[in-house]
Chain A
Amino acid sequence: MATEVSRPSSRRAPRQQIGLIEWLRKNLFSTWYNVIITLVLLYVIFQAVTSFVSWMITAPGWPAAFTNIKLLLTWTYPVEHLWRPQAVTGLVFLLLGLSSGVWGGIVRMVTFGAAAISAGLGVVAFTFPDLPGQTSLPGWLFLFLCAGLLIGSDQLALRLRDRIRWPLIIAWLLSYPAAIVILRGGFGLPVVETKLWGGLMLTLLLAISGIVLSFPLGVLLALGRRSTLPVIRMFCVLYIELIRGVPLVTVLFMGALLLPLFLPGGESIDALVRAIVAITLFSAAYLAENVRGGLQSIPKGQIEAARALGLNVFQTTLLITLPQALRAVVPVLVGQFIALFKDTSLVVIIGLVDLLGAAQNIVGQPQWLGTPGGVWRETFLVIAAIYWVFSFTMSRISKRIEDQIARSRH
């Protein structure tokens, strides 16, 4: 952040209380060119803000986004099954709340942030009508329950602490397959075809799948690239560089065209699965490079010490190097998740309807034809805000973790 970057003059000792005038003179009008910059910027900001606000107030297209909030969130997921995405959200929040009680720290901060946002959105959601035929909780009630769930499970876990530590880790590992089963059905639940999925739900699902599924592959590729066996190293280098050299759309395009051809007998593969496979293969190459960075940062002494203690290579990698490397790359992985979260919007190009796709569809709805200038500005602004909130929050979290790691090193 810029405020952390101090110019030399502000570090002048001894510190003294400065008045407003003094502050203005120092920070805005210190030299003649700073005076010009400040005045020009003030004028531009004033113009931009006033015209933006007046446009916001008069823009006719807001109903487009807000009456279609269901399409933006879950696209054509059947209304009578909407309780399933809600259940998945609840599951994740429950685990998050419990983790917050057990581990505290940044997890705690995230939990309370999520609770505050849920409660805030709950108030907003109060004004939205419920969908006809909906068998799930109304939006506002659901959001309030989420906030309660986060805080409640946090408090509960505070008491249990160490007893649930391992069960919780296992529950996190199982949460991904469980979420898929809840959303898709099977095991007695009626199946909801993936071609009905979409909106923000799909965006999050693709990004999470990308990170979760590419994780084992990425770690193995990273280890393979550092291997001393030339065949394996070459293979890993080739894979990583090949994938990193081409754009994601190309990989998605290949997934859409080639994957069906690779299987015998022309078996059909779900379009969503094809996208997930492509995103996973793509993400693994980047993840491998990030993990490799972490592995390289481990001092050689660590490995030598481990070997001296009698650990074999396998144990050294699994117990000493990898945990440290992964810990070091957590912020980078969050960064990669943010990038993936934004990049999943490219699935629009291969015909899946994610958050951006849903917005494009809404903009094209015939009922907005009469709106002068169309409703694209309002709709895109709403989804831009959704994207922004998610990735900005995550980048703040990543920064916190980074700072914490840096502090723990000293």
Chain B
Amino acid sequence: MAVGSPSIPPGKVNIPFYRDTRIIAVIVQIVFAFLVAVGIWYLYSNMMNGLRQANLLPTFSFLSVPAGFPIAESVIEYNPSMTYGRAFVVGILNTVRVAVIGIILATLLGLILGIARLSDNWLLRNVALVYVEIVRNIPLLLQLIFWFSLTRLFPRIQESIDVGGLIFLHNRGVTMAWPQVGNDFDTWMLWVYGGIVVGGIFYVVRRIQFIRRDRPGVALPYAFLIALGIALLGFLVTYLMNGVWPISLSVPVLQRFNFEGGITITNSFAALLIGLVIYTAVFIGEIVRSGILAVSKGQREAARALGLTPGQTMRLVILPQALRVIVPPLTSQYLNLTKNSSLAIAIAYPDLFYVANTINNQTGQAIPVILMLMASYLSVSLLTSLFMNWYNRRIQLVER
């Protein structure tokens, strides 16, 4: 190092620019950005050249063209005369449907599994362990194909297994009786809204009273009961006035080919849901287990010493504390479940990936389809993350 002359203050040594880290940092970043840009441009121009030669320049105009292909199940109304755009939305909604139901069921099963793994019953503990070790070491795709193949063993639809005339099991899925909206449904809904309003007012009034008297008290369950009571009363009144229930039960009747009435859960959907739930629950179970173990033993002992039963200890003391450890890894399991639902293509459930794949086949527009596909998955992931982060913050606040 050169020794600066005493006339120059130490901080103002003249460093040549190529040794100034601040300048180098900027230069390096510019070079990096340049290289990335050149790389992307190179790939992009190759791609566009190839596509131009093949007369396949990317465009989104196909989205407003009728799709022409049928989709087996849909949350919203869909038929082949509707557009590709609509078909894509059907795919997104099908993914959301299986993901939401799957997440709820997997959480419940995971919770049970996590608690069972810590049970003081030796048999239960080890049955849970065997379940975990079997399921998590076998590929999900294989499990899905297994469940789907299993549905083939059920009888044909004409020879369905009849459970009490309300549920029918067959190799195309499960058909069951389902509530159906009657003519007077709207009249009854007025009662329901009324119930909610009355219950709400009751709740607010009670809360104000509690605050004024500065005493704790229970208001919400009573408010809920009041709302429910009014709704039930309305249900009865509507029936008495018109002689028809506002909600009736639609019982499936076997027609020539399929059941009429009720709802049918297709075997594809059932297999996908079962597979996803069973697989994800294992990972959730492990998270729950480690979350519970993370709560210090003193907490449990103190709760027991206060006279709480084991069930109460778990519900009121352990779980609320464990939740804080559980929620962040839980989020990534929820995201995994959503992403794993893309395996539906192997078992004919028309999820997002399946529909996107079909659109690509019919239109040849690979680039727009891939862009839309990625954007959709990223948004679903982002929404789930945002929700879970919000929830995480909420339970963290309880602590303070």
Where the two chains meet, the residues of A that have a C-beta atom closer than 8 Å to any C-beta of B are 1-2, 5, 7-9, 27-28, 30, 34, 37-38, 41-42, 45, 229-232, 235, 242, 245-250, 253-254, 257-258, 261-264, 266, 338, 342-343, 345-346, 348-349, 356, 360, 373-374, 376-377, 380, 383-384, 387-388, 391-392, 395
Which of A2, A360, A387 is in CB contact (< 8 Å) with B145? Answer: A360
Which of A258, A345, A349 is in CB contact (< 8 Å) with B47? Answer: A258
The answer to whether A356 and B142 have CB atoms under 8 Å apart is yes
Q: Does B187 contact A (CB under 8 A)?
A: no
B residues near A232, Cβ cutoff 8 Å: 29, 32
Q: How far is the CB of A301 from chain B (nearest CB, A)?
A: 23
Which of B145, B343, B378 is in CB contact (< 8 Å) with A245? Answer: B378
The answer to whether A384 and B378 have CB atoms under 8 Å apart is no
The answer to whether A28 and B122 have CB atoms under 8 Å apart is yes
> With A257-B360, A262-B47 known to touch, is A27 a contact of B120 (CB < 8 Å)?
yes
Which of B127, B153, B293, B377 is in CB contact (< 8 Å) with A246? Answer: B377
> With A346-B343, A360-B145 known to touch, is A41 a contact of B127 (CB < 8 Å)?
yes
Nearest B residue (CB) for A356: B142
A residues near B297, Cβ cutoff 8 Å: 8
Q: How far is the CB of A258 from chain B (nearest CB, A)?
A: 7
Q: Does B263 contact A (CB under 8 A)?
A: no
The answer to whether B142 and A27 have CB atoms under 8 Å apart is no
The answer to whether A345 and B374 have CB atoms under 8 Å apart is no
Which of A250, A262, A338, A356 is in CB contact (< 8 Å) with B46? Answer: A262
A residues near B366, Cβ cutoff 8 Å: 257-258, 261
Number of A-B contacts (CB under 8 A): 155
- With most chain A CB atoms within 10 A of its CB, the pick from B51, B142, B335 is B142
10 A-B interface contacts by CB (under 8 A): A5-B117, A9-B120, A27-B120, A28-B122, A231-B33, A257-B370, A261-B50, A356-B141, A373-B153, A388-B137
Stretch at the interface among B128-136, B206-214, B386-394: B128-136
A residues near B367, Cβ cutoff 8 Å: 258
Q: How far is the CB of B73 from chain A (nearest CB, A)?
A: 20
Complex Cα spacing A41 to B123, Å: 8
Complex Cα spacing A376 to B335, Å: 31
Complex Cα spacing A263 to B48, Å: 11
The answer to whether A45 and B127 have CB atoms under 8 Å apart is yes
Nearest B residue (CB) for A377: B149
Which of B33, B139, B374 is in CB contact (< 8 Å) with A356? Answer: B139
Count of chain B residues with Cβ under 8 Å from any Cβ of A? 62
> With A1-B129, A249-B353 known to touch, is A345 a contact of B120 (CB < 8 Å)?
no
B residues near A266, Cβ cutoff 8 Å: 50, 53
Complex Cα spacing A248 to B118, Å: 33
> With A242-B378, A342-B140, A356-B142 known to touch, is A262 a contact of B126 (CB < 8 Å)?
no
Which of A9, A250, A262, A345 is in CB contact (< 8 Å) with B342? Answer: A250
Top-10 shortest CB links A-B: A27-B122, A247-B339, A342-B139, A231-B29, A247-B342, A391-B137, A345-B139, A245-B381, A262-B43, A245-B378
For residues 95 through 123 of chain B, which have their beta carbon under 8 Å from a beta carbon of chain A?
Answer: 117-123
The answer to whether A247 and B340 have CB atoms under 8 Å apart is yes
> With A232-B29, A247-B339, A388-B134 known to touch, is A38 a contact of B377 (CB < 8 Å)?
no
Q: How far is the CB of A341 from chain B (nearest CB, A)?
A: 8
Complex Cα spacing A242 to B126, Å: 39
The answer to whether B142 and A263 have CB atoms under 8 Å apart is no
The answer to whether A253 and B138 have CB atoms under 8 Å apart is no
B residues near A388, Cβ cutoff 8 Å: 134, 137-138
Q: Does B300 contact A (CB under 8 A)?
A: yes
Q: How far is the CB of B82 from chain A (nearest CB, A)?
A: 24
B residues near A245, Cβ cutoff 8 Å: 335, 374, 377-378, 381-382
The answer to whether A247 and B353 have CB atoms under 8 Å apart is yes
B residues near A263, Cβ cutoff 8 Å: 46
Q: How far is the CB of B219 from chain A (nearest CB, A)?
A: 33
Complex Cα spacing A153 to B333, Å: 43
- With most chain A CB atoms within 10 A of its CB, the pick from B117, B141, B335 is B141
Which of A37, A343, A348 is in CB contact (< 8 Å) with B121? Answer: A37
The answer to whether B137 and A395 have CB atoms under 8 Å apart is yes
The answer to whether B124 and A345 have CB atoms under 8 Å apart is no
The answer to whether B46 and A387 have CB atoms under 8 Å apart is no
Nearest A residue (CB) for B49: A264
The answer to whether B46 and A229 have CB atoms under 8 Å apart is no
The answer to whether B46 and A264 have CB atoms under 8 Å apart is yes
Contact with A along B39-57 (1 / 0, CB 8 A): 0000100110111010000
A residues near B38, Cβ cutoff 8 Å: none
Q: How far is the CB of B152 from chain A (nearest CB, A)?
A: 7
Q: Does B160 contact A (CB under 8 A)?
A: no
Which of A34, A257, A338, A345 is in CB contact (< 8 Å) with B142? Answer: A345
B residues near A229, Cβ cutoff 8 Å: 25, 28-29, 32
Which of B25, B47, B123, B381 is in CB contact (< 8 Å) with A42? Answer: B123
The answer to whether A37 and B139 have CB atoms under 8 Å apart is no
Complex Cα spacing A248 to B135, Å: 20
Complex Cα spacing A2 to B119, Å: 9
Q: Does B36 contact A (CB under 8 A)?
A: yes
The answer to whether B301 and A383 have CB atoms under 8 Å apart is no
Nearest A residue (CB) for B373: A250
B residues near A377, Cβ cutoff 8 Å: 149
B residues near A348, Cβ cutoff 8 Å: 141, 346
B residues near A231, Cβ cutoff 8 Å: 29, 32-33
> With A37-B121, A246-B339, A247-B377 known to touch, is A253 a contact of B370 (CB < 8 Å)?
yes
The answer to whether B141 and A345 have CB atoms under 8 Å apart is yes
Q: How far is the CB of A93 from chain B (nearest CB, A)?
A: 23
A residues near B335, Cβ cutoff 8 Å: 245
Q: Does B125 contact A (CB under 8 A)?
A: yes
The answer to whether A27 and B121 have CB atoms under 8 Å apart is yes
B residues near A395, Cβ cutoff 8 Å: 137
Q: How far is the CB of A39 from chain B (nearest CB, A)?
A: 10
A residues near B378, Cβ cutoff 8 Å: 242, 245-246
Nearest B residue (CB) for A381: B146
The answer to whether B129 and A38 have CB atoms under 8 Å apart is no
Complex Cα spacing A45 to B339, Å: 33
A residues near B340, Cβ cutoff 8 Å: 247
The answer to whether B138 and A342 have CB atoms under 8 Å apart is yes
The answer to whether B32 and A235 have CB atoms under 8 Å apart is yes
Nearest A residue (CB) for B380: A245
A residues near B25, Cβ cutoff 8 Å: 229
Complex Cα spacing A235 to B335, Å: 23
> With A235-B36, A250-B374 known to touch, is A380 a contact of B149 (CB < 8 Å)?
yes
| Beyond A250-B374, A377-B149, 18 extra complex contacts between A and B, CB < 8 Å | A8-B301, A28-B123, A30-B121, A41-B123, A41-B124, A246-B373, A246-B377, A254-B370, A258-B367, A261-B46, A264-B49, A266-B53, A343-B139, A345-B139, A349-B345, A383-B142, A387-B139, A391-B138
